[in-house]
Amino acid sequence: MKYKIIAIALIGILSGGSLVPTQTYAASPEVKIEDAVLEKEIRAELKLEEGTALDYTNLQKLTSLYPKGKEKIKSVKGLNMAHNLEQLYLPNQEITDISPLGSLYKLTFLAINNNQIQNACPIANLSDLQKLVISNNQIEEIGCFSRLTGLTDLLASNNKIKDILPLTKLKLGWLDVSNNPVADITSISVMNKLRQIYVTKDSLNEKSNALLKQLEQSGIAVNRASASSDEVSGISVLVNDERVLFDLAPLVDAGSTLVQFRPLFEKLGFVIQWDGTTRTIQAEKQGTKITLQVDNPMATLNGNSNTLTVAPRNIEGSIFVPIRFVGEASKFVVTWESSSKTIYLQSTRTIVTPDEKLKVTLGGNWLSRTPPVNSNYQIYAVSSNNALISGSESKTLFDKNLTLDEYEAGIKKMLEAQKITKFYEEKSLTTNGLNAKQFSYSKNGTKGEDFTVTHTIVDGKYNFFNVILFSGELVFSEINKEYQNILQTLEEIKTPYQLSKEKFGALKPTERLLEAAHYYRNLGFFESEKGLTSQEFDNKMLELEKKFTDWNPFDSSEYYDDLAELSLLIADEDRVWVEDWDLDVGKGKNTYLTTLGQWSKISRGAFQPIDIKETWEAEEGPITVSFKLNGQERVIYPEYVGGYMNTYGLLKEINDMIKPSGYQFAVVENDDEEVMVTALKAEEKMKLQQDRYIDFDFITFD
């Protein structure tokens, strides 16, 4: 309950607040909504009088839409202009194409169940989307959902989904894939936020059914109500946010929780010895040695005796041990969260914010939480009745070079608009070498609780950081001391662009070009020029520079292009493939056939397909690309994306095929929306990232 109170009280601090000027858009005379039923529902929601135009300005007032009429909506074209839409309910309609929804970036809830949708990928870039209901459609491919990084609830029952592997990196708490032909769910063992899953057991393979039983014993509700809302589900145990899977559920005795010893000790990294004669466990890792005996309330830690509140015991042939003693003996902070029935074992750790701009070290008592909806928090962690939040603003977004004092004044002005006018404990300080300003104020909770807020603004080289402690403690001194220590661990992370500019930005255009050319030549590029002397190679590169007539990407005097050296690599046609990201595909064009042939030439022997065939069943697919690779028949079913080739999806599948070769295709997209592909070894890619700060687009490179 404490965490909920804090979350409510935090709303307004850094929530949507920014000193960056807000963009304005010219209103169009009228927005065209293709479907008359949809337009009628929008007008009803906005309470527009008859004769009032449904223009751009009015449409921006639409934040939620739930059609209540009996007539069916068939098209959502035009709804893409409702940029402030946050909640959209369109169940039980006759919708087939959801492409217009792909630009509704403020959506947090979307229900499009019971329609006729086959392709759900147009919504895959809605990173703020938290709850998605797509049940009872005809959806098969959800690989694109791996980009829905904000998703917590996915209800996708009664579709044609076979593979849920792409979901494993999401922070899903509720997953429903029942009545889908899913055979393998073993990948969900790493989904540590999962609390509830619905899946059809009859379709699962043996390993998946075994995992399902473990999940049931480890605090996850399987095919029933969530663990936090029933009395049946057991306790979850997370070690540094990784779930511990048990064959038998944890139990509580006299206020102490006991768990199976082997899964816990293995997760903690102990080497275990079991003596069946004396019924004694010895667990050891560097710096820690624990001895426990069944039915004996005395334990030893590094040779010192400790009295346990509850003795280890044998239950159904498994030895159960008190988790708090084991966790604390292993130098973890042990925290019980009653609302989710979860025991957290956390060590001190360094975390990187999602925007990869800030690094900070937190103690094990701080539990990371999902930020409130519509907040701009990069860090949101709680400890008892305290919360720690952070946000960042890039200095490049401001019209002028703001000083720290000016930025602080702007923040205070925003707070004053929230009726926070009294500031105290104002001071200047340094946080790990960075200048900072700090002040405090009071804020009331929804039930009249008093909270102390300590707000620190850190002046980074490239960003301003707001790091805020929100405390409900009666004794503030201890938590404030911990907060000040946390501030001293802050470290600004430079982006690849910033690192590149610092390293190469001062070079003259020709110097930079030749430095890059020789670097890549030494790495194995420009193999066709290996017979040239160093001077001859320079002369050839200088001839290439003369072709930069409109603008020289190596000239940093007006604008620094961190990807300038890609202009050189494009000339190496034996190693590099370049095309526009929106490469046209279509029935009869044979784009896939041609492209796979070109990729084989730059693959360094890793990808040599033969008998390539490209088949289209209709103008918009389905598409089948078949070929032989290393004697095996291979088939790829490319996703149809509005007439463009899904380069990333295609390369991901090919990379899985060529892993044994040691090479993988790597992708970079430049500012001209060109996609560059080359084949690299893992160590080569790492070297390019370290030396040249190239920000490769993620496909797969394990």
CB 114 within 8 A of CB 136: yes
Mean pLDDT of 167-176: 92
Cα dihedral 207→209→211→216 (10° resolution): -170
Mean pLDDT of 636-652: 81
Mean pLDDT of 367-377: 82
pLDDT for 24 beyond 70 = no
Letter for the amino acid at 351?
I
Task: Give the per-residue pLDDT at 364.
Answer: 94
Number of CB atoms found within 10 A of residue 338's CB: 8
Mean pLDDT of 569-594: 90
Cα dihedral 179→184→187→189 (10° resolution): 80
Task: Give the per-residue pLDDT at 448.
Answer: 67
Quote the radius of gyration of the chain (alpha carbons, Å): 29
Of the candidates 523, 568, 567, 537, the residue with the CA atom closest to the CA atom of residue 690: 523
> Cα(578)–Cα(541) distance, rounded to whole angstroms?
19
> By three-state DSSP, how is residue 197 classified?
strand
Report long-range pairs for 25-29 (Cβ below 8 Å, ≥24 apart). Answer: 25/56, 26/56, 27/55, 27/56, 27/57, 28/55, 28/56, 28/81, 29/53, 29/55
Of the candidates 395, 384, 521, 381, the residue with the CA atom closest to the CA atom of residue 461: 395
Mean pLDDT of 242-246: 93
**Residue-wise pLDDT tens digits, 400-428:** 789 999 999 999 999 998 888 899 999 99
pLDDT greater at residue 225 or residue 11: 225
> Cα(335)–Cα(325) distance, rounded to whole angstroms?
12
Residue 17 confidence class, pLDDT cut points 50, 70, 90: low
DSSP string, 169-185: TS--SEEE-TTS-----
Q: Which two tokens stand for residue 489?
A: 């661990």
> By three-state DSSP, how is residue 189 classified?
helix
Candidate from 199-208, 231-240, 536-545, 571-580 with smallest mean pLDDT: 231-240
Mean pLDDT of 187-205: 91
Domains of the chain (ranges; CATH) run 33-85 (no CATH), 86-229 (3.80.10.10), 238-344 (3.30.457.10), 573-702 (no CATH)
Task: Give the per-residue pLDDT at 30.
Answer: 77
Task: Give the per-residue pLDDT at 237.
Answer: 95
Candidate from 361-370, 582-591, 600-609 with smallest mean pLDDT: 582-591
Mean pLDDT of 602-625: 91
**Residue-wise pLDDT tens digits, 272-331:** 999 999 999 999 999 899 999 999 999 999 999 999 999 999 999 999 999 999 999 999
Residues in the chain: 702
* Phi, psi for residue 411 in degrees, rounded to 5: -65, -45
Tell me which residue has tokens 């963009």.
23
Looking at the chain, the whole-number percentage of residues with pLDDT higher than 70 is: 93
Residue 444 confidence class, pLDDT cut points 50, 70, 90: confident
Looking at the chain, the whole-number percentage of residues with pLDDT higher than 90 is: 68
**Residue 690 burial by Cβ neighbours in a 10 Å radius (0-12, 13-18, 19+):** exposed
Residue 584 confidence class, pLDDT cut points 50, 70, 90: confident
Q: Which two tokens stand for residue 666?
A: 């790597």
Task: Give the per-residue pLDDT at 618.
Answer: 85
Mean pLDDT of 615-620: 86
Q: Order of strands across the sheet with 491-492?
A: 349-352, 358-362, 491-492
Mean pLDDT of 673-692: 93
Mean pLDDT of 557-579: 91
Residue 15 confidence class, pLDDT cut points 50, 70, 90: low
Task: Give the per-residue pLDDT at 539.
Answer: 95
> Cα(455)–Cα(426) distance, rounded to whole angstroms?
10
pLDDT for 5 beyond 60 = no
pLDDT for 26 beyond 50 = no
CA-to-CA dists, residue 74 to 44, 71, 96, 116, angstroms: 18, 10, 7, 10
Task: Give the per-residue pLDDT at 19.
Answer: 56
pLDDT for 436 beyond 70 = yes
Q: For the chain, give the mean pLDDT.
A: 89
> Cα(677)–Cα(654) distance, rounded to whole angstroms?
13
